Amino acid sequence: SAVSKFRYFVVENSTVLALLEEPLGNDQDPQPTVTLLIRGGFGRHAWTLQLRHLPRHRSGTKYQHTPNPGRPVPLEDPPPRPHSRHKYFPDSVERIPQCKVDKSIPDLDALFLEDSSGELSELSRLLEKQVVGERRDSSPPCTMDPERECAPPPPCHEFQTARLFLSHFGLLSRLDNNQEPGIPPLVALDTSHPSFCNDLEALDNIGCRTVNTCHVMYVRAGQKQPEHILNNVLSESTVSPHFLEMLLALGWPVKVSQHPGWTGHVATSYKLAHGTQGEPATESLPSHGGSLFNGDSHVLYWADVSAEIAFVVPTSSRKSKHFDEFHQQDSAVWYERSLSACEATD
């Protein structure tokens, strides 16, 4: 399947990355390419990266792939090296007649005869050795062997572009064993899990807006039992008309089976029941005190560009998923009392 060709990671416990390494043979201009699918809180995005040494407008051989021309062939016969003899004095110095001053400083040969310590003999031996070494180094080099010429390595056809992407963004080093306690910042997902595709599809069906669920209850003065409070909304005669007016002002009624957005519960949200798409979206609502919006068939829905809110009126019906969820989690309660109720209790 297509999912098995991707490599999935979770970054910072909030973003899902899907990396696809594309082969080089699928393009007229083969370049190491990686396709990235980003699933985050701001939606789903696709990103494609190519490893290029030059930008597109600077690449002269965009669709022309010529073979490597190689290095220049070395010359078999090197050019002759000019030989020159270095002189310390000009040639005319030999024609100048000598005087007594020139003989005031004895020459080296006379000093060798008077050398009793042997230092001058050692110096003469070192000079002769140095002369022999310089003559050997100044000899013409041997002919170069073309078979020993350096050849460039063959071009690489396999690239780990996913690894390159993670390394450039500083995420690859987070896969080592030296992790801090808690949830690691980068987690590799197992695509072979049986429910991975279903979970990924459910994730794609979720919108990019924040979702909230608000439970609305009608509490009469002096009521303390949960059963009595939940039974108030079963009939229109047990609630104030202003309460129903307030409910309809919170959002617009939607049918759970036909609503593609948030319904207040994960099991029924972002799903359309089969065979219900053709039913009318609006219909006359039966008489009730707010119990119709308990989440079994209808809810009150409000949304804008960044958030979705489902207003649910809990009832004592055990088939309601919202009733069980309301009792299993901690909820923040907002009390709103009418002016007449406040005057009656004073």
Question: Over the range 230-269, which residues count as b (16 or more CB within 10 Å of their CB) and which as e?
Answer: bbbbbeeeebeeebbeebeeebebbbbbebeebbbbeebb
Closest CA to 243 of 265, 218, 277, 267: 218
Q: Is residue 179 very low, low, confident or very high in pLDDT (cuts 50, 70, 90)?
A: low
pTM (predicted TM-score): 0.48
- Tens of pLDDT, residue by residue over 136-167, are 877 666 555 656 666 667 767 677 888 888 88
Query: 104 pLDDT band (50/70/90 cuts)?
Result: confident
What does the domain layout of the chain look like in residue ranges?
2-52+158-198, 209-274+286-312
Q: Is the domain defined by 209-274+286-312 classed in CATH 3.40.50.11210?
A: yes
Predicted local confidence at residue 180, as pLDDT: 67
The answer for residues whose C-beta is within 8 angstroms of residue 90's C-beta and 6 or more apart is none
pLDDT at 215: 92
For the stretch 41-54, pLDDT in tens is 778 889 888 877 77
Model confidence at 344: pLDDT above 50: no
Write out pLDDT tens, residues 44-96: 889 888 877 777 776 655 444 455 566 677 767 777 888 887 888 888 888 88
- Please check the confidence at residue 224 and state whether its pLDDT lies above 80: yes
The larger pLDDT score, comparing residue 293 to residue 105, is at 293
Considering only 63-67, 288-292, 296-300, 307-311, which range has the smallest mean pLDDT?
A: 63-67
